[in-house]
Structure 1
Amino acid sequence: MAVVDACTRDGRGGSPTAVVIDDGTLTDEARRAVVRAAGTSHAAFVDTATGGAPAVRFFTAEGELRNCGHGTIAAQAFLLEQGGASHHRGRQRTGGRTFATTADRRPEGIEVWFDQGTIELRDAGGTGGVVAALGLAPADVTGDLRIASPGTPRLLVGVRDRRVLLSMRPDLDRLAAECRRLGLLGCFPFALSAAGGSADARMFAPAIGVGEDVVNANSSGCLAAHLLATGRGGGLEVRQGDALGRPCVVRAAATDTPAGIAVRIGATAATHLAG
């Protein structure tokens, strides 16, 4: 097993993510136990024995996730480290789809990019209970309120500025109940920079046992898709993890395609513990 700091910023921080080579013999309970033993919020289980693109599954201590952006960053960085190469262009199978990945050694760590796929965007009507559970006043929230899904829906919540973002203290029990009621993975409050092209964000997902996630790369991709859909460009850098003392950054590039808005996600990772 290795623990990989996924989505580091300037060589620091990142989200500790367990990565395990798994030949498919582990039970799901054993996989959840690995997460608990590792002390991480998530773990990636990589099966390389099937031939072709490795199959990767993601778990929290409560259960399996359909996909995980920072877990994909961690898994691909781990595979490059294990192989001893300086560059790899490959594919990964997760959540019923196979997608392209790249990994390159850089001075600050291993830079990984992957194709997130198309993002479904829909109206956020009926989500007032989620916003209330975040502890936000009406004046704190901008017009950027959207449900976005790369396979699992989550609520994007634009807030007025970084000060509002970092001062948030959600009612996690209430938030978990509201997210379960609406079938949401969690919610992703964010504050856009005045200059555009970057944002600060946090991710709350108590419905899946993660009160606050250090980083959520898939939600960063969802935000890039939302900004492109609303005429504000598709290139974005998202800073996360500051509220938890684990600085992270995720980059996302959204483009219009015949199938919808597709996104590529990139971040840097460092393996810091192996056993």
Structure 2
Amino acid sequence: MISRLPVTIVRACLREGRGGSPTAVLDETPLSDEERCRVPVLAGTSHAVFVAVRGSAVALRFFTAEGELPACGHGTIAALAFLLERAGGSEYRGALRAAGRSFAGWAVREGARVRAAFEPGSVELREPTPAECGLVLPTLGVGRDTLTPGVRVASVGRARLLVPVNSRSALAALAPDFGRLRSACDRFGLLGCYVYSAPTRSGRIAARMFAPSIGVPEDIANANSTACLAADLAGRGVTGIAVDMGDSLGSPATITATARPGPVVQLGGTAEVTGVVRLP
């Protein structure tokens, strides 16, 4: 039963203290997967994170209205803020586990907010096939005059398409056909499409993540896709990025990522625990 279940709402990946992606975080509880999928819907969030403390390790499970995800970057940042709030004090460090993979995460209190970071794991990159590009890209509304070289299929848990465009204005103008996009992504087993602008010299980038296949037409903040981009750009000499998302949805968010040879990526973001609600 999920009625009256207490859920902590965390705004993950804030930008200068504003916006962020509201995320439902709650203790592991005996629920069916169908009930877990209802939690973000009832909480008014795109994602829900279930947290199970098992000795010295913490297991995480991530759900959207469409089902379970093997990983969720902004959900992990939200979970770390939740764990710090639960532990009290000024810092939290722990071993996290999701989808059979263990990794370290940490969080530090900064006033009323929390700075959190973790390593999402290895990123797989490949060139897309002509069929993938031919079917998926037209559904985004990306014109030949705005698309730039470097489309990649990237995976950290599930595959997605990284699509570069030449400017922030071109990114802001996108109006995907979500029905066709979902059909195209489902055909190739893609999570969705992460469209991003050319990085500035300082590594500042704007991005939008379209993922109707998991019940999220557009994501306010998608940290795992940012990790994929950081791994791709590391091969071109860009070792640190800050990605702005959520502006088209009225909720500005920023995700940071650094990459070192391997590539090994570390994701970071600021979060704020806004309170506890009970599901209707």
Query: TM-score w.r.t. structure 1 length?
Result: 0.95
Look up the match of 2:142: 136
Q: Higher mean Cα deviation, 57-66 or 195-204?
A: 195-204
Query: TM-score w.r.t. structure 2 length?
Result: 0.94
Structure 1 residue 19 corresponds to structure 2 residue 25: yes
Structure 2 distance, partners of 1:194, 1:66, is 32
Q: Higher mean Cα deviation, 107-116 or 154-163?
A: 107-116
**Per the alignment, in what secondary structure is the counterpart of residue 29 of structure 1?**
helix
Seq. identity, %:
48
Structure 1 residue 47 corresponds to structure 2 residue 87: no
Structure 2 distance, partners of 1:111, 1:78, is 12
Structure 1 residue 167 corresponds to structure 2 residue 173: yes
Structure 2: state its 5+ residue gaps.
1-6
- For residues 218-240 of structure 1, what are the alpha-carbon distances to aligned partners after superposition, in whole Å with 9 as ceiling and x for unaligned? 111111111012x2322111010
Look up the match of 1:115: 119
Q: CA deviation at 1:108?
A: 5.7
| Residue number among 100, 104, 116 corresponding to 1:100 in the alignment | 104
Structure 2 distance, partners of 1:196, 1:81, is 33
Structure 1: state its 5+ residue gaps.
none
Q: CA deviation at 1:36?
A: 1.3
Matched positions, count: 269
Structure 1 distance, partners of 2:155, 2:200, is 26
**Per the alignment, in what secondary structure is the counterpart of residue 253 of structure 1?**
strand
Structure 2 distance, partners of 1:7, 1:31, is 23
| Residue number among 184, 192, 197 corresponding to 1:178 in the alignment | 184
Structure 2 distance, partners of 1:78, 1:139, is 44
Q: Is the 8 A contact 2:83 2:92 kept in 1?
A: no
Q: Is the 8 A contact 1:11 1:108 kept in 2?
A: no
Q: CA deviation at 1:183?
A: 0.7
Q: CA deviation at 1:194?
A: 3.5
Q: CA deviation at 1:47?
A: 0.9
Structure 2 distance, partners of 1:144, 1:43, is 32
Structure 1 distance, partners of 2:198, 2:237, is 11
Look up the match of 1:268: 270
Structure 1 distance, partners of 2:148, 2:77, is 31
